[in-house]
């Protein structure tokens, strides 16, 4: 039998009962995202994340915003393109370069958190 991985009980951790800047309670969806972010899993699918999303959803988010903001150019040297290329070509990126690109992606997420 498959082991149960969830519980009906309310989660009680540092995110429980968080308030927004204006003093109103944070929505359960926002808290759910904050928990995922803290655990380092993708906000969409729960796979191990690079930055805030896994690589697949990082690319999805990039393409979604490209369409929305009508961007024409592609910044080929940005981490999401470099990591995408390494997956597509099945060519192993050296771990050092990969770690460097992942760090760049992560620092981008942190910059946004600082604004919030």
What residues make contact with Zn ion under the rule CB under 5 A?
42, 44-45, 54, 57
Q: Which is nearer to Zn ion, 20 or 64 (CB)?
A: 64
Residue 85 contacts residue 27 (beta carbons within 8 Å)? no
Residue 6 · residue 26 · CB < 8 Å: no
Ramachandran area for residue 70 (φ above 0: left; ψ -120 to 50: alpha; else beta) = left
Compute the least distance from the CB of residue 53 to Zn ion, in Å. Answer: 5
Q: Which is nearer to Zn ion, 57 or 70 (CB)?
A: 57
Give the phi and the psi of residue 19 in degrees, each rounded to 5.
Answer: -110, 150
Is 20 or 63 the residue whose CB approaches Zn ion more closely?
Answer: 63
Q: Of the two residues 8 and 39, which places its CB atom closer to Zn ion in the complex?
A: 39
Torsion of CA 21, 27, 12, 55, to 10 degrees: -100
Q: How far is the CB of 76 from Zn ion (least distance, A)?
A: 22
Least distance in angstroms from the C-beta of 50 to Zn ion = 10
Q: Shortest approach of Zn ion to residue 65 CB, angstroms?
A: 16
The rounded distance, in Å, linking the Cα atoms of 85 and 13 is: 38
Answer whether 101's CB lies under 8 Å from 77's CB: no
Question: Which residue of the chain is nearest Zn ion when measured via CB?
Answer: 42
């Amino acid at each position: 039998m498959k082991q149960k991985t969830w519980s009906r009980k309310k989660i009680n951790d540092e995110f429980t009962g968080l308030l927004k800047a204006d003093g109103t309670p944070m929505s359960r969806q926002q808290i759910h995202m904050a928990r995922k972010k803290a655990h380092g899993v993708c906000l969409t699918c729960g796979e191990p994340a690079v930055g805030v999303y896994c690589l697949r959803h990082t690319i999805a988010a990039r393409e979604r915003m490209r369409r929305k903001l009508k961007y024409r150019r592609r910044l080929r040297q940005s981490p999401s393109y470099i990591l995408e290329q390494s997956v597509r070509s099945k060519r192993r990126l050296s771990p050092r370069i990969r770690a460097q690109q992942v760090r760049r992606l992560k620092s981008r997420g942190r910059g946004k958190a600082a604004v919030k």
